[in-house]
């Protein structure tokens, strides 16, 4: 288990979606994302879901299909890249 800050968890979520190419209408199942990251981060899926909620409120992530899938917001592409660069690689 990794000890990551909330900012690092958010960067991990964004990086995973970025690597999978999930922009706009090309979305990714929320449960799969939470399960995959929950294995690597403490407090399992609760913390991942909380960070996802924050990313949604900030506009980085879009929710689809009644909250079952997520994707990156293409309008915020520059900000997403900058956030990952700033947090993941200090």
Burial bucket for residue 15 (CB in 10 Å: 0-12, 13-18, 19+): middle
Please tell me the pTM assigned to this model.
0.89
Q: Please give the domain boundaries of the chain with CATH numbers for all domains.
A: 6-88 (1.10.10.10)
CA separation, residue 19 to residues 12, 25, 36, 59 (Å): 10, 16, 14, 19
List the chain pLDDT tens, one digit each, 90 residues. 667 888 998 999 999 999 999 999 999 999 999 988 888 777 667 888 999 999 999 999 999 988 899 999 999 999 999 999 999 765
Helix (H, G, I), strand (E, B) or coil at 13: helix
């Amino acid at each position: 288990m990794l000890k990551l800050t909330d900012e690092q968890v958010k960067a991990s979520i964004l990086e995973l979606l970025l690597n999978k190419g999930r922009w706009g209408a090309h979305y990714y199942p929320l449960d799969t994302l939470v399960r995959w990251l929950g294995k690597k981060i403490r407090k399992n899926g609760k913390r991942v879901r909380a960070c996802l909620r924050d990313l949604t409120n900030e506009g980085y992530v879009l929710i689809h299909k009644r909250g079952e899938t997520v994707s990156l917001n293409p309008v915020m592409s520059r900000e997403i890249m900058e956030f990952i660069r700033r947090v993941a690689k200090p």
